[in-house]
Structure 1
Amino acid sequence: MPHLQFEINKKISQETKENFVKEIRKTFSEIMDTGTDHIAISIREYNKYNLTIGRANPNDDICLMNLDIREGRTIQQRRELALRYMSIVNELFEVENRNQYITFTQHSGEDFHLIEKYLDKWATGEDPLA
């Protein structure tokens, strides 16, 4: 059950958030070759000066992403996901690519729990809730 966390230093409209979540979930499913029902997404909005990246100007919009995923994905999959997410953030949240930062944290499947069960190791084409 990935937990995909997005922190941004501006307010985002409800419509934009709805489109964003749909794109994020779809993209994760495509690249990571999995279903969508177990994908958790958080969007946290902060005031302008509550997020920083050293290379950004203090007035810039910034987006920090923490992506908690299961072990087993390749560096190629993670890199493709990172680049696609940066593109989505750029397009929908209007944050310059250079003002985005992504951290992946990988966990064993048994670190992710739903009411039905904990998740197993990742397998290509899986439906984790089946």
Structure 2
Amino acid sequence: MPHLQFEINKKVSYESKEIFVNEIRKTFSEVMDTGTDHIAVSLREYDKYNLTIGRADINDDICLMNLDIREGRTIEKRRELALKYMEIVKHNFGIETKNQYITFTEHKGEDFHLVEKYLATWTSGEDPLA
């Protein structure tokens, strides 16, 4: 059950959030070769000066991403996802890619629990809730 966390230092509309979350789930499913029902997304909005990146101006819009995923994806797949997410953030929230930062944290499948079960180790083309 990936938990995809996005923190931004600006407020965005409900409509933008809905579009964003749908694009994030769809992109994860396509790149990581899995379903969507188990994907959790958090979007946290902060005031302007509550998030910074050293390379950005203090007045810039920022997005920090922490992507908790199951082990098993290659660095190429993680990089593909990272670059696609940066473009989604730029397109939906107007945050320049140079002002975005992504951290992947990998876990064993058994670290992810739903009421039905815990998840198994990732396999290509899976439906983790089947």
Bin the TM-score by the shorter chain.
over 0.9
- 1:71-129 deviations in Å (ceiling 9; x for gaps): 00000100000000000000001000000000000000000000000000000000000
Q: CA RMSD in A?
A: 0.2
- 1:11-47 deviations in Å (ceiling 9; x for gaps): 0100000000000000000000000000000000000
Q: What letter is aligned with 1:121?
A: T
Secondary structure at the aligned position of 2:68 is classed as strand
Q: What letter is aligned with 1:86?
A: M
Aligned-residue sequence identity (percent) comes to: 78
Matches within 5 A, 1:12-91: 12-91=12-91
Paired positions, count: 130
Q: Distance in 2 between matches of 1:106 and 1:84?
A: 19
Q: Distance in 2 between matches of 1:72 and 1:4?
A: 17
Q: Distance in 2 between matches of 1:76 and 1:20?
A: 23
- 1:38-58 deviations in Å (ceiling 9; x for gaps): 000000000000000000001
Q: Distance in 2 between matches of 1:14 and 1:107?
A: 31
Q: What letter is aligned with 1:13?
A: S
Tell me which residue corresponds to 1:7. 7
Q: Distance in 2 between matches of 1:116 and 1:129?
A: 8
Q: Distance in 2 between matches of 1:79 and 1:15?
A: 28
Question: Which 5+ residue runs of structure 1 have no aligned equivalent?
Answer: none
Q: TM-score, normalised by structure 2?
A: 1.00
Q: Distance in 1 between matches of 2:34 and 2:12?
A: 28
Stretches (4+) displaced over 3 A: none
Q: TM-score, normalised by structure 1?
A: 1.00
Secondary structure at the aligned position of 2:106 is classed as strand
